[in-house]
Chain A
Amino acid sequence: DGGITQSPKYLFRKEGQNVTLSCEQNLNHDAMYWYRQDPGQGLRLIYYSQIVNDFQKGDIAEGYSVSREKKESFPLTVTSAQKNPTAFYLCASTNTQGYGDTEAFFGQGTRLTVV
């Protein structure tokens, strides 16, 4: 089945530690996105990538980094510079470079908790 796979489902980070969230899609989509979801708030865009080897900052990129070495993969690293990383992280993809007339698909999310 085609879709987006995020792993792990739950992740715990110690203070000062970098952690990487995985996002893999087999939909052959060009564009991929990372969102952060906090209780009582809407989804906020962290980073997005429209093509391989290229990505742009979203609204809340500070303390995060990404790479896009393969079309199907878009990992997100939460660095120690991110002071409040506890949140639910969602990865999405669309089949064109940008939303246009295309439907967005989401993964099942990774819940990150600082311990």
Chain B
Amino acid sequence: KQEVTQIPAALSVPEGENLVLNCSFTDSAIYNLQWFRQDPGKGLTSLLLIQSSQREQTSGRLNASLDKSSGRSTLYIAASQPGDSATYLCAVAYYGNNRLAFGKGNQVVVIP
């Protein structure tokens, strides 16, 4: 079964610390992996898209890596701020599927 796992479900960090969020997937045959941010009661905002052929993507304080062989992606958020408090979702587009497989998300609280 093509699954996506995000652990832990929730975490808190002091402001200024670097955030590290992990995403695991069960099948290396993927088109891409996408990280999203979701604020309470809101839709999903795309943060980074990593193509299957790429190892990482960067946008400002965000950096996402992809290791297909081990089935893992990591999202790094440098120097976290209270405004980074949100739920972060990882989604994988597997070959042969016309859908995204989502993890359940990491709920992040950055403490001022």
Interface residues of A (CB under 8 A from B): 4, 6, 31, 33, 40-43, 45, 48, 50, 56, 58-59, 88, 90, 92, 97-109, 111
Whether A42 pairs with B4 at a CB distance below 8 angstroms is yes
Of B41, B43, B102, most buried by chain A (CB within 10 Å of CB) is B43
Question: What's the least CB distance linking B64 to chain A, in Å?
Answer: 13
Question: What's the least CB distance linking B78 to chain A, in Å?
Answer: 23
Number of interface residues of B (CB under 8 A): 26
With A100-B31, A103-B34 in contact, do A109 and B42 touch (Cβ < 8 Å)? yes
Question: Would you mind naming 29 contact pairs between A and B with Cβ atoms under 8 Å apart?
Answer: A31-B98, A40-B104, A42-B89, A42-B104, A43-B89, A43-B91, A45-B100, A50-B98, A59-B99, A88-B41, A90-B44, A92-B44, A92-B100, A98-B98, A99-B99, A99-B100, A100-B32, A100-B93, A101-B31, A101-B32, A104-B91, A105-B46, A106-B36, A106-B44, A106-B45, A107-B43, A108-B42, A109-B41, A109-B43
Whether A42 pairs with B102 at a CB distance below 8 angstroms is yes
A58–B98 CA distance with the chains assembled, in angstroms: 9
The majority secondary structure among interface residues of chain B is: strand
By a CB distance below 8 angstroms, the chain A residues around B100 are 43, 45, 92, 99, 104
A4–B93 CA distance with the chains assembled, in angstroms: 20
By a CB distance below 8 angstroms, the chain B residues around A58 are 99
Question: What's the least CB distance linking B49 to chain A, in Å?
Answer: 5
* Chain A proximity mask over B25-56: 1 for CB below 8 Å, otherwise 0: 00000011010100001111110010110000
4 more A-B residue pairs beyond the given contacts A42-B103, A90-B43, with a C-beta to C-beta distance below 8 A? A43-B91, A48-B98, A90-B44, A92-B44
By a CB distance below 8 angstroms, the chain B residues around A99 are 31-32, 93, 97-100
Residues 79-112 (chain B) with a chain A CB within 8 angstroms: 89, 91, 93, 97-105
A104–B89 CA distance with the chains assembled, in angstroms: 13
By a CB distance below 8 angstroms, the chain A residues around B52 are 101
